[in-house]
A and B are shown apart, each in its own frame.
Chain A
Amino acid sequence: MSATVTTGTGNEATGEGGKQPPRVLRGMAWLVWRQHRVAFLACLLLTAAGVANMLWERAATRDFLKNPRPGALAVDVAGLFANSSYDSAYQDGAWLVTCLPLAVGVFLGAPLIAGDLERGTLKLVTTQSMTRRHWLTVKVAAAALVTLVCSVALSAVYTWWWRPAHDLVNTGRWTDGVVFDTTGPMPVAMALLNLAVGIAAGVLVRRVLPAMALTFAFGFFVLGWLWDGVRLLPFTPRVITNPVEQGQPPVPEGGARFDNWTVDAHGGLHGFGTCFNEHTPADCRTNQGIVAERLDYFGFDQMNTMQWVDAGILLAVTVLIAGLTLGWVRKRSL
Chain B
Amino acid sequence: MGGTAPPGGGDRWAMEARGLGKRYGRKWALRDCSFRLPAGAICGLVGSNGAGKSTLLSLAARLTRPTTGGLSLFGTAVTEDEVLARCAYLAQDKPLFPRFTVEETLRMGAELNPRWDRAVAERIVRSGPVPMGDRVGTLSGGQRSRLALALAFGKRPELLLLDEPMAELDPLSQHEIAGLLMAEAAEQGTTVLMSSHQLADVATMCDHLLAVADGRVRLAGAIDELLDAHRLVTGAYLVDGVPPEIARHTVVESRTTGRQFTALIRRQGPVEGDWRATEPSLEEVLLGYLRSPGTPPLLTADAQVTDEHEGEVAA
Report the minimal beta-carbon distance from A91 to chain B, rounded to whole angstroms.
38
Q: Is the CB of B58 within 8 A of A130?
A: no
Q: Is the CB of A127 within 8 A of B133?
A: no
Q: Is the CB of A333 within 8 A of B132?
A: no
Report the minimal beta-carbon distance from A111 to chain B, rounded to whole angstroms.
13
Q: Does B126 contact A (CB under 8 A)?
A: yes
- Output the residue of A10, A14, A124 with the most chain B CB within 10 A: A124
Q: Is the CB of A126 within 8 A of B63?
A: yes
Q: Is the CB of B84 within 8 A of A129?
A: yes
Q: Is the CB of A28 within 8 A of B111?
A: yes
Q: Does A279 contact B (CB under 8 A)?
A: no
Q: Is the CB of A128 within 8 A of B97?
A: no
Q: From A3, A31, A34, A127, give the contact of B62 (CB < 8 A).
A: A127
- Bound-state CA distance A7–B119 (Å) is 8
Q: Is the CB of A6 within 8 A of B84?
A: no
Q: Does B109 contact A (CB under 8 A)?
A: yes
Q: Is the CB of A130 within 8 A of B112?
A: yes
- Bound-state CA distance A31–B109 (Å) is 10
- Bound-state CA distance A15–B134 (Å) is 8
Q: Does A27 contact B (CB under 8 A)?
A: yes
* Interface residue tally for chain B (C-beta within 8 Å): 41
Which B residues touch A126, using CB under 8 A? 62-63
- Bound-state CA distance A129–B64 (Å) is 16
Which residues A1-50 have CB closer than 8 A to chain B? 2-3, 6-7, 10, 12-16, 26-28, 30-31, 34-35
Q: For B22, give the chain A residue with the smallest CB separation.
A: A333
Chain A interface residue bracket vs B: 20 to 34
Q: Does B276 contact A (CB under 8 A)?
A: no
Task: Flag the segment in A55-63, A115-123, A225-233, A292-300 that touches B.
Answer: A115-123
Q: Does A331 contact B (CB under 8 A)?
A: yes
Q: Does A131 contact B (CB under 8 A)?
A: yes
Q: Is the CB of B103 within 8 A of A13?
A: yes
Q: Is the CB of B63 within 8 A of A123?
A: yes
Q: For B87, give the chain A residue with the smallest CB separation.
A: A127
Q: Is the CB of B65 within 8 A of A131?
A: no
Q: For B104, give the chain A residue with the smallest CB separation.
A: A34
- Bound-state CA distance A125–B63 (Å) is 11
- Output the residue of A35, A131, A331, A333 with the most chain B CB within 10 A: A333
Q: Is the CB of B100 within 8 A of A34?
A: yes
- Bound-state CA distance A35–B105 (Å) is 11
Which residues A312-326 have CB closer than 8 A to chain B? none
Report the minimal beta-carbon distance from A164 to chain B, rounded to whole angstroms.
46
Q: Is the CB of A27 within 8 A of B132?
A: no
- Bound-state CA distance A331–B79 (Å) is 12
Proximity bits, B92-113, A CB within 8 Å = 1, else 0: 0101111011011001110111
Which A residues touch B131, using CB under 8 A? 14
**Given that A10-B132, A13-B132, A127-B89 are known contacts, is A31 also in contact with B63, CB under 8 Å in the complex?**
no
Report the minimal beta-carbon distance from A5 to chain B, rounded to whole angstroms.
10
Report the minimal beta-carbon distance from A75 to chain B, rounded to whole angstroms.
58
Which A residues touch B24, using CB under 8 A? 333
Residues of B within 8 A of A (CB): 24, 58, 61-65, 81, 84-85, 88-89, 91, 93, 95-98, 100-101, 103-104, 107-109, 111-115, 119, 122-123, 126-127, 131-134, 151, 155
Besides A34-B108, A127-B89, 13 new A-B residue pairs in contact (Cβ under 8 A), listed by A number:
A6-B126, A15-B101, A16-B133, A27-B111, A28-B112, A30-B107, A120-B93, A121-B95, A126-B62, A127-B61, A129-B112, A131-B81, A331-B65
